[in-house]
Every structure is written in structure tokens, then in C-alpha cells.
Amino acid sequence: MRTAYTADQIRGAEHTLMARLPEGTLMQRAAAGLAAVCADLLGHVYGRRVVLLVGSGDNGGDALYAGQRLARRGARVGAVLAGSKTHEAGLRALLEAGGRVVGADEIGAADLILDGLVGIGASGALREPYARLAEAANAAPGRVVAVDVPSGVDASSGRVEGAAVRAAVTVTMGAYKTGLLVDPGAEFAGRVELVDIGLGAYVPDPDVVALGHEDVARLLPRPGAESDKYRRGVLGVAAGSHLYTGAAVLAVGGALRAGAGMVRYAGAEEPVAQVRAHWPEAVITVLDRPSIDEVGRVQAWVLGPGLGTGERAHDLAASVLASDVPVLIDADGLTIVAKDRELLRRTAPVLLTPHAGELARLTGAERADIEAARLEHVRAAAAELGVTVLLKGSTTLIAGPSGQARVNVTGSSWLATGGTGDVLSGVAGALLAQGLSCYDAAACGAYVHGLAGRLAADGAPLAAADVATAVPAAIRAVTSGSAYGEKLGER
């Protein structure tokens, strides 16, 4: 499990720890870890060119002391002093070790560029000359390492409001910052390396959590000796239409592959024929009218993929949401409830799985604003609607109505193709039917779905059906505890 914190939380923990240590101890710990990561990236240090981008704050001091350590090992280290002031002791240490002060024109010749322009307390767009230096670092051929957080990325939210350093590696101190796990900030952070500086006992409850293999394995339902198909969870699926038969096939397939004991599919004749042909295991009900009265008892519902948004679809959605079991709402179901939010007034749990455009319709926010501040908007939507929200996208976020939030660290860009969201609905719906809460079903479903996408793609294009097929292998990778499975889970 990765726990991540806001800038205020980290500063509070640092303040408490620094009061117990000799002055400068934390900076030296940070610099030692930073220099070690840089040395590993360089391969051999002697003779390599390193340029430090040094701002006015403690990040600049970290960079200077790390540069001192690299210079002692024979690196040619130059510091671009960008701030209105410079950490004097750090600069003196660098110069005594053989480093020097250089101009920005040396950035392009560096083997490694160390970004110490601004730290976790910065917010908003970078000012000059920082913005210009960030762009120069991004354009340079050398590898870029960010100190704590890439300059231009808001450490607490992941917002990027202008120029920002795009790092190959971010070396973060003490604890993960929320903005390193949440896009757009996560995209700029590259690989994140955590340096332990002793904050562990002083950090509060995390702002955001990213589950790992062990966490998901602990939450995933497993059949016991007394299990039967009913005890393993019966999922109802209300999806598909004469125009979108494939959505029903994919949602049912995701549910069956994720371990539902039984899937009851309810739909019109056209998708019924396709589901029956692909999944003879499913129990089929042809709906002559938009009601689930004849479907039979289920433990949860998936509502919406490919359903359509007309009057008949609305009435079917109302019938499903009038039930007393958890309901996952996706795709067309989200459009329906966006137009009629009264449908969400129910006592049983609800899980919404929108992308940014669908969340915009639900809340009235602009899509661009949601993309720029994903965590803020998913939390606000969950609180406003009183439901759990899984916001799909480059980083999948899950928020509960009380403000708790998780970020999913699995997945693949190859998953950005039609139908994969329908598979996710089936996977998460199956976990709901097996007894997980909406919050846990969303997080575990996203994690397994992301792993399945990686397995199915294996570096090449995939189709949504490939993801459904790979779900059992993804679950096996999670529950086996293998090193291969852990590697798949790494971002």
C-alpha cells in the first residue's frame, strides 16, 4: 500500500521531526538518498556532467548537497542559481567539492539535470526564470531527476497550471505526495523513488491511498468449502440495446471472469441473443417491458452499458434503482441519472463509474476543469451525490461520500479503447455481488482490470474482449504473491 499526503501534512510532520534532531539532519538525509538515486541513473559517476537547477527553498539546498556528493565522486557538477537567494551552506559545500556556478546554456550538455527549483509548498504557475528553466530541462537530452516533486506540479493535488518539469524520476522525501500519484502531476513525475528520512511516526492519516497486491489479495472474495453459486454472488446486468449489443456481452463477460457465482442478464431480444451465444452460463431474461420484476433475486446490479437513454431505458433504470441491493451505474445509465438525479435517492449503496465527460454531465462542471483537478472533483461529486464515484481516466480515482480517496496504480494506455469500461463494470459488479462495499469493489475492480489490461496488451493493441479473457490471470497474479505479479502492479 502506498499512502500519500498533502503538502501541509508533510510540512507538519517535518516540523515535528526537525524539533527532535540537530539542525540540517533532514536535509543531509534527503541529499544522501537523492545522490544515491542519481548515481544509479548515471551508471558511473566519474566524469559525467550534472547540472543542478537551484531555487531559493530547501529543495535547492537538497540539490546542492546532493551535487556535493556527486562532485566528490568525480562528476562535473554545475549549479544554475535561479532563486533570489541560495542556500549558502549548500552552495559552499558544492564549491568546496569542486562544483561550480554555471549558466543555463549548460543544461543541454548535461548527462543528468537535477530539478531543485521549487518544493512542495509551491502552487500555481511557475514564474520566470523558473518556467524557462523547466522548459530547457524538458528539451535537453539528459535525464531529469526532480527533487521531492517536479517543479510546476502541485504536490497536494497534481494540478499543473503552466510550464512544469517532466522528470524521468522523482525522488520524494519521507512520504509520497498526493500530486505524484494523481494526474496530471503523475504524468510529470515519471518513476517515483521514496527516500526514508524518518517521517514515518509523524505523518497523520493519509490524504490518498494506492492499494498494492497484498491489499487487493486480502480484499478479494474467495470461495470456501461450503460455497455454491448463490453464496458466491448473483449479479444482475441491465445493459445493451438493439444498437449496442456488445456492451452487454462485455459486461457479462467481465462479471463471469471475475468470479460471480451467477449472472442474471436482462435485456431486449437483440443483446439477449448475443449474450446467450457468448456466455451460455448466464441466466437470461428477455424484457418485454422495462421492469426487473421477473428477473429473480440478485445481490447487486450493473446498470447502463449500452442501454440507451430513451424513455424505456429510463424506466428500466428506475426499476433497477428501486431495488434494495447495491447498484453500479455506468455509461448510458450515468446519462439517465444525470437528467433525473432523483433516481439516486435510495437507501442501498450506489457506485458510479464515469469518465470526465460523464462526471461533467452529472455535476455541471466543465470537463477541462475536472481533468485539471481530478481529485478535487471526484471527492466533490461523491459528497454531493452521497455515493461512491470511480473516475476513469489516465489515473483512476475512487472517492467515497465521506471524503476518503484511493488511486489505482495499475493499467495501460492500451486500455483506452471502446468496451473496456464495460468489462470494468462487470468486474466491479461481480465484486459487489460477492459482498464487497462499493469503495472496495471499485478499488479492487480497477486494480484487477488494470492488470488484465497489461496482460492482454503485452505492449501491443488489444480489444475489450481480450481484457475480459485476461481477468482470471490478473486475479491469479494478485493472489499468488509472485514477484511477477508484483511487477505487473508497479506503475
- Could you give the C-alpha distances from 482 to 28, 228, 446, 460, in angstroms and in order? 36, 28, 20, 24
H helix intervals, 22-114: 25-42, 58-72, 88-96
- Could you give the C-alpha distances from 292 to 265, 296, 346, in angstroms and in order? 10, 8, 17
Distance CA 325, CA 464 (A): 28
Q: Does the annotation list 205 as a binding residue?
A: no
Q: Does the annotation list 124 as a binding residue?
A: yes
Q: Does the annotation list 179 as a binding residue?
A: no
Cβ-based neighbour number of residue 404 at 10 Å: 17
Q: Does the annotation list 336 as a binding residue?
A: no
Helix (H) or strand (E) segment spanning residue 284: strand 283-286
Q: Does the annotation list 439 as a binding residue?
A: no
Q: Does the annotation list 122 as a binding residue?
A: yes
Q: Does the annotation list 60 as a binding residue?
A: yes
Q: Does the annotation list 393 as a binding residue?
A: yes
Provide φ and ψ at 176, rounded to 5°: -70, 145
Q: Does the annotation list 340 as a binding residue?
A: no
Q: Does the annotation list 174 as a binding residue?
A: no
Q: Does the annotation list 59 as a binding residue?
A: yes
Instruction: Residue 146: name the closest of 110, 119, 112, 171 by CA.
Output: 171
Q: Does the annotation list 396 as a binding residue?
A: yes
Q: Does the annotation list 422 as a binding residue?
A: yes
Q: Does the annotation list 242 as a binding residue?
A: no
Q: Does the annotation list 369 as a binding residue?
A: no
Q: Does the annotation list 115 as a binding residue?
A: yes
Q: Does the annotation list 62 as a binding residue?
A: yes
Q: Does the annotation list 151 as a binding residue?
A: yes
Output the CA torsion sign for 6, 200, 118, 139: negative
HSE of 188, CA atoms in CB hemisphere, 13 A: 31
Residue 226 · residue 249 · CB < 8 Å: no
Q: Does the annotation list 121 as a binding residue?
A: yes
One-letter amino acid of 299 = Q
Binding residues: 58-62, 115, 119-125, 130, 148, 151, 247, 306, 355, 392-396, 421-422
Binding residues for AMP: 392-396, 421
Binding residues for K(+): 59, 115, 151
Binding residues for (6S)-NADPHX: 58-62, 119-125, 130, 148, 247, 306, 355, 422
